[in-house]
């Protein structure tokens, strides 16, 4: 079987640290993805912009859904939803560190709607 080609090119990131380190940082602290999505995108690669937008959109979804967690029955449903989103974020994190892009269902579309279709 053919192996997947690893990314050999050095990706430009916003902070200047290595790409894998920044991917881990942005996905585990999604507010950074939200902030980096508004920065000048000529300073980093399209792949980094894709990851920032997706992490930023995940941050928006989790932040907006969190207050509903206090409502008795709705809170259970919202808590399950936030957990599912977090699992998808972890999957995207693992795929990104392996050199693949994973589009989180719904979250990717939200990121495209907010920040435009300039990236993948």
Domain segments of the chain: what residues? 19-115
* pLDDT tens per residue, range 80-111: 888 999 999 999 999 988 888 899 988 888 88
The H or E element containing residue 89 is helix 72-97
DSSP 15: S
Take residue 7 and report the two structure tokens written for it.
């990314």
pTM comes to: 0.78
Predicted confidence (pLDDT) at residue 4 exceeds the cutoff of 60: no
Give the distance between the most distant pair of CA atoms in the chain.
Answer: 51
pLDDT at 92: 92
* pLDDT tens per residue, range 37-52: 887 767 777 888 888 8
């Amino acid at each position: 079987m053919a192996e997947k080609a690893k990314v050999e090119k050095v990706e430009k990131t916003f902070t200047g640290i290595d790409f894998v380190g920044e991917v881990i940082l942005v996905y585990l602290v999604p507010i950074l993805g939200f902030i980096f999505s508004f920065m000048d995108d000529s300073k980093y690669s399209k792949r980094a912009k894709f990851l920032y937008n997706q992490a930023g959109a995940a941050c928006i979804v989790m932040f907006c859904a969190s207050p509903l967690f206090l409502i008795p029955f709705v809170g259970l449903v919202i808590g399950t939803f936030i957990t599912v989103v977090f699992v998808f974020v972890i999957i995207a994190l693992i795929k990104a560190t392996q050199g693949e892009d994973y589009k989180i269902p719904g979250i990717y579309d939200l990121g495209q709607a907010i920040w435009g279709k300039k990236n993948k």
